[in-house]
Amino acid sequence: MEPEAGKKRFGTAPVFFTAISTILGAILFLRFGFAVGTLGFWGAVLIIILGHSLTIPTAFAISELATNKRVEGGGEYFIISRSFGLNIGGTIGIALFLSQAISVAFYIIAFTESFEFLFNFFADRFNFHLPRQVISIPVMAVLGFVILRQGANLGVKALYFVAGILFISLLLFFLGTTEYGTVTGNKLPPGDLRNLNSFFVVFAIVFPAFTGMTAGVGLSGDLKRPSRSIPIGTTTATLAGMVIYVAVVYKLAITVSAEDMLNNQLIMSKIAIAGAFIIPLGLAASTMSSALGSVMVAPRTLQALALDSSFPSKKINKWLSYGRKSDGEPVNASLVTIIIAFVFVAVGSVNAVAQIISMFFLVTYGSLCLISFLNHFGSSPSYRPSFRSRWYLSLAGFLIAVWVMFRINAPYALASVLVMMSLYTYIKYYHRDRHGLESLFANALFQMNRNLQVYLQKSGSRKKAKEWRPSAICISKDSFVRARAFQLLNWISYRYGFATYLHRIDGYYCRATSEQASEELAKLIEVYDTTNNHVYVDTIISPSYTSAIVQAIQVPGISGMENNMVIFEYDKEHPDNLKEIIENIRLIKAGNFDICLLATSRKDLVFRNGIHVWISFDEPENSSLLILLSFIILGHPSWKKANIRIFEICKPEDYEQTKSKLSELVISGRLPITEKNIEIIGTEPGRSTKSLINEKSATAAITMIGFRVEGLKHNGEAVLGGYDPTGTILFVNSHNKKEII
């Protein structure tokens, strides 16, 4: 079990010392001389700047996230899992735990380098190369015993002790000098920058020095005030580490030659006062403090994972989440951590594994920065941290993390991504009910949509000539009876337009109808949940069709644009609701809307039979909309094998003039079809237009015909009737002429 609130006993100091002691670790003593010797002072400074361009945004991001909500045990894992969801959190958390556990072995192996004098003694005196495990395994055993028996309390006390030794060793290093430094006057060589082609090779070697700044966050479950201790401790340690790093490389550059730095990995011992003793002691202190920090943090990450049931077995989760009753110490998780560390200590080298560890740390840092950025961008009302970073810093941290991963080692970066994807797939498999990632991205998308809508409204009001595109709305209570109206909206909105489908529920708004609306909306979303669905679906509760229309047409569409088209739908063979539709046409027309009446036929819709469009130059408004809509509909993948045929009926004496107009449209490109798909039909005495349409378009998938509201007003349903041989028909009335461009 997790420590109770009353047993949370640490303040800010343990966070700072855990972080700073991990930052000032083995790499500082063993590899910074190599970095300065290879790249020069300014090259080493560039490495420090690049490393901290990632760690500072991450420190700010984690400080921000820690002050937004209460942080429990698990540190970075807790923050990521509560932001990205438990499945992604579990994926990153497992990788993070393994990185932390193997880091313990890495630091113990580095600790043995402080006994180089002993290995050299055996090699020179007895010609025997003493294996490093002679030191590393007993040290690992002692460390494991101390942590299992005494827990974090003794670990923190030991942390203060080794941090004190580390401070003294660095102080004596800065106070020391060399003959080389005296000769050069302790001045920086001019233009001390070289071998930039090896920059990322050196950066890969030095990078573990930048992976310790979040170590203190892992103590979150043991902190009295995580929201205060984490920001102060983490940020201060990160900035202090950067200052010390710059000071160390400066001291190296002015005190020893590049050759000495390249030939002696403990070159700091040649500079420091009593360096032969104090620098190996400082290395021992730094590596031991880093190992202590990791061995305290890793079990708490594992315990938090188990508390969230991240593993497939209930028994394993229960066993790993156990906390000692006296102090809440995660003894079982500590035991697992120590066993993993023992395995890698016994191997004796984790150089190959260390790069993958770095990848997982980079994934963690990048995730923290991405969470911070998305929360900034999403502007959720519930996101109110007392410490605020800047969105551009978080975004930069995320991008740099991804970039650095691939610059250090692209194959390892790809391997890390594949491992993470596989792990996520497995966790998702046995935790199908978990969600969480959607809400974070939904906030960002909502904010983007909000800003875009405001921009569209402002820019639209400034335009004198607006390019027309459909923003259609359809209201129907027959959603579960006929799907053709929804299909039409989907065709319109797929590429060029916007569409809103409102399922009407008869009645007044109350608890019962509200619950009915929620249930039927969920059902509608499930029914129409396809890859090619681009329609926004909702419900509307209203006692009458007229009131539902009045409510709907006054509200902007989901795009933020005002709706400019209303679509009605009825069953062509049984037009029970047609009278009601016609009664509301004038109401719609008063709002300057384009109107479409979809007469649904029960004939199968065969897409390859194409769209037949019947136009008339006597009705330029309707003709322009008919042509535009036909091309918009044809843009949907369902119509990929279909074509458009355009028909024009005219008097015989107007035939040539009509043909000339249509040819002009084709040649200018404003009518992107060939002339063979255009047919001009001369009127015949005694033959009606409807009979011509029935003859020519009987097999068309959809036939599109213009209509006039005045005719519908005077003649009613008769205007729309008489098309029995023809299949589904879309009657169109345009408010104004659309430019065909």
The pLDDT confidence band at residue 596, using thresholds 50, 70 and 90, is very high
Q: Which has more confidence, 83 or 483? A: 483
Q: How many Cβ atoms from other residues are within 10 Å of residue 611's Cβ?
A: 24
pLDDT of 560 reads 56
The mean per-residue pLDDT over the stretch 124-128 comes to 76
pLDDT of 246 reads 92
The pLDDT confidence band at residue 612, using thresholds 50, 70 and 90, is very high
Helices (H) and strands (E) in the chain — how many of each? Answer: 26, 10
The mean per-residue pLDDT over the stretch 683-700 comes to 87
> What's at 70, amino acid-wise?
R
The mean per-residue pLDDT over the stretch 514-521 comes to 89
The answer to whether residues 348 and 135 touch, using CB atoms and an 8 Å cutoff, is no
pLDDT of 561 reads 65
- What tokens does 203 get? 């950066």
Q: How many Cβ atoms from other residues are within 10 Å of residue 153's Cβ?
A: 13
Q: Which has more confidence, 449 or 528? A: 528
Comparing 370-374, 574-578, 606-610, which segment has the lowest mean pLDDT? 370-374
Q: Burial code of 675-686, b = ≥16 C-beta within 10 A, e = fewer?
A: eeebebbeeeee
The answer to whether residues 338 and 99 touch, using CB atoms and an 8 Å cutoff, is no
The mean per-residue pLDDT over the stretch 356-367 comes to 76
The mean per-residue pLDDT over the stretch 314-333 comes to 80
Q: How far is CA 351 from CA 105, 106, 109, 509, in A?
A: 11, 8, 11, 67
pLDDT of 194 reads 86
The mean per-residue pLDDT over the stretch 172-188 comes to 83
pLDDT of 731 reads 95
If DSSP codes are grouped into helix, strand and coil, which group holds residue 727?
coil
pLDDT of 453 reads 60
Element (H, E) at 731: strand 728-733
If DSSP codes are grouped into helix, strand and coil, which group holds residue 650?
strand
Positive or negative, the Cα torsion across 284, 286, 292, 295?
negative
Decide if pLDDT at 704 tops 90: yes
The mean per-residue pLDDT over the stretch 710-725 comes to 86
Comparing 177-186, 213-222, 538-547, 598-607, which segment has the lowest mean pLDDT? 213-222
pLDDT of 72 reads 60
The answer to whether residues 331 and 321 touch, using CB atoms and an 8 Å cutoff, is no
Q: Which has more confidence, 714 or 741? A: 714
pLDDT of 4 reads 44
The pLDDT confidence band at residue 700, using thresholds 50, 70 and 90, is very high
Decide if pLDDT at 191 tops 60: yes
pLDDT over 90 percentage in the chain: 8
Decide if pLDDT at 490 tops 60: yes
The answer to whether residues 24 and 244 touch, using CB atoms and an 8 Å cutoff, is yes
- What tokens does 310 get? 């991240």
Return contacts of 580-589, CB within 8 angstroms, 24+ apart. Answer: 580/545, 582/712, 582/716, 582/717, 583/546, 584/545, 584/546, 584/549, 585/709, 585/712, 585/713, 586/709, 586/713, 587/546, 587/549, 587/550, 588/549, 588/553, 589/709, 589/733, 589/735
Comparing 136-145, 191-200, 460-469, 675-684, which segment has the lowest mean pLDDT? 460-469
Most confident of 34-48, 102-116, 443-457: 34-48
pLDDT of 3 reads 44
461-489 pLDDT, tens digit each: 544 445 677 888 988 888 888 888 888 99
What distance lies between CA 52 and its chain's CA centroid? 23
Comparing 384-393, 539-548, 590-599, which segment has the lowest mean pLDDT? 384-393
Strand order in 644-650's β-sheet? 536-542, 498-506, 471-476, 565-571, 594-600, 728-733, 702-706, 611-615, 644-650, 678-682
pLDDT of 153 reads 54
Distance CA 47, CA 599 (A): 70
What integer best gives the mean pLDDT of the chain? 79
Decide if pLDDT at 326 tops 90: no
The mean per-residue pLDDT over the stretch 585-602 comes to 87
pLDDT of 730 reads 95
pLDDT of 732 reads 93
DSSP state of 10: B
The mean per-residue pLDDT over the stretch 125-138 comes to 75
571-583 pLDDT, tens digit each: 988 888 888 888 8
pLDDT of 701 reads 93
The pLDDT confidence band at residue 158, using thresholds 50, 70 and 90, is low
Decide if pLDDT at 115 tops 80: no
Distance CA 726, CA 700 (A): 8
Torsion on CA atoms 446, 450, 453, 455, rounded to nearest 10: -130
The answer to whether residues 337 and 295 touch, using CB atoms and an 8 Å cutoff, is yes
Comparing 100-114, 404-418, 663-677, which segment has the lowest mean pLDDT? 663-677
Decide if pLDDT at 531 tops 60: no
Which one, of 103, 26, 112, 140, lies nearest residue 356 by Cα? Answer: 103
Decide if pLDDT at 65 tops 90: no
Comparing 67-81, 158-172, 180-194, which segment has the lowest mean pLDDT? 67-81
DSSP state of 348: -
pLDDT of 679 reads 86
The pLDDT confidence band at residue 18, using thresholds 50, 70 and 90, is confident
pLDDT over 70 percentage in the chain: 82
pLDDT of 63 reads 76
Phi, psi (deg, nearest 5) at residue 350? -125, 30
Most confident of 102-116, 153-167, 548-562: 102-116
Decide if pLDDT at 276 tops 50: yes
pLDDT of 2 reads 44
Decide if pLDDT at 60 tops 90: no
